[in-house]
Amino acid sequence: MFLNTLELSISFDLPQGSPTSPSASLIASTSTCHGASRRTACHYCPGQSYVAAAYVKWIESAGGRAVPIRLYDSDEELKRLFSSVNGIIFPGGLTDLWLDDPYVISAKKLHDWAVEENDKGNVFPIWGTCLGHQLLQILAANVNFNDLLIETDAVSHASTLKFTGEGRKSRMFGTAEPSLLNKIEDANLNIIIENHEFGVPPKHFDDWPVLKEQYEIVSTAFDRNGTEYVSTIEHRRYPFFGTQWHPEKPPYEFSDLAIPHSHDAIRVGQHLANVFIELARQSPHTPESKEEELAMLIYNYKPVFTARDIVMEPSYDGPDITYFFDPIRDGADRLGADAHASEKRRLEYLRA
């Protein structure tokens, strides 16, 4: 019944003396309803920003730990967290990706710092899922979402991927079993879950050469109407990856009945979690103290069983379990104004 995300980047922090346990930082999103409009303000949520617990569990499944980054964290706090974690995840959600939106502004800072770190020879990976996947391409092209994205009919859509010529040899899938890659492309199995209203068409990689210069298209996919869009990308130089689909959902989300829960669907997500966390283990970032490490972990927040305790609609397809931040009593006017402005621009775009 809610769902628009604040920036939630997943970071991996290396505990003192233990370089094998990275932490991932998640950027939280603003809470909105997942009801009739899917974009109205949520009056049921205990906080104005959130992160779905499935991302936290996905990171943990490969040996990492999650650290939340909130939309209105100061630049100083963003930099402190960035210097303490080992990777970032831009998760899915419904935030509109305008270049002047607070979410995009914060994400760009983190993205640019990651570029600087990798240029210094310090591995620092970034992962973008769904909205985060679109965000990586928008940052690369330096355009607003309405310039780069097209509408797609792929909400709650179990589907397949179509690998490009080099897709099977990519860093993301090059170590996967060939039999699993075959199943990913098998339309009789549909082990991939898509859940998005927009996507980037492959031809836009020709229209915006800077996209092609930075990112390799690993796979494409098709919505219910046969519209093709870019479904998986990886950066040509940096350890930056994006999936329009959701590798974290099959093991951990059950409210959306379209999500596949087969052994192979879960294997795909686990493989990619392992790829990402293994890169995060190479990051030299670490908290300054054990106290700082413990204080920044997401375990300081209590998850909410949203599928049971908040949502009253049988058609709900949001997260089963959710972490909320920024209580309604704190900063409601500021977040509300941003949400209204973003929604107004979105409606103007859809009417055009």
Catalytic residues: 130, 246
DSSP string, 290-343: HHHHHHHSGGGS--B-HHHHT---TT--S-SSEEEEEETTSSHHHHHHHHHHHH
Angle at 172 between CA 167 and CA 174, to 5 degrees: 65
Angle at 152 between CA 349 and CA 130, to 5 degrees: 95
Task: From 230, 162, 227, select the one nearest 190 (Cα to Cα).
Answer: 162
> Where do the H-state alpha helices sit in 47-90?
53-61, 75-84
Phi, psi of 51 (to 5 degrees): -140, 135
Alpha carbon distances (Å) from 200 to 26, 149, 155, 219: 23, 5, 15, 12
Contact assessment for residue 252 and residue 58, using Cβ atoms and an 8 Å cutoff: yes
Radius of gyration of the chain (CA): 19
Pairing label, strands 240-243, 88-90: unpaired
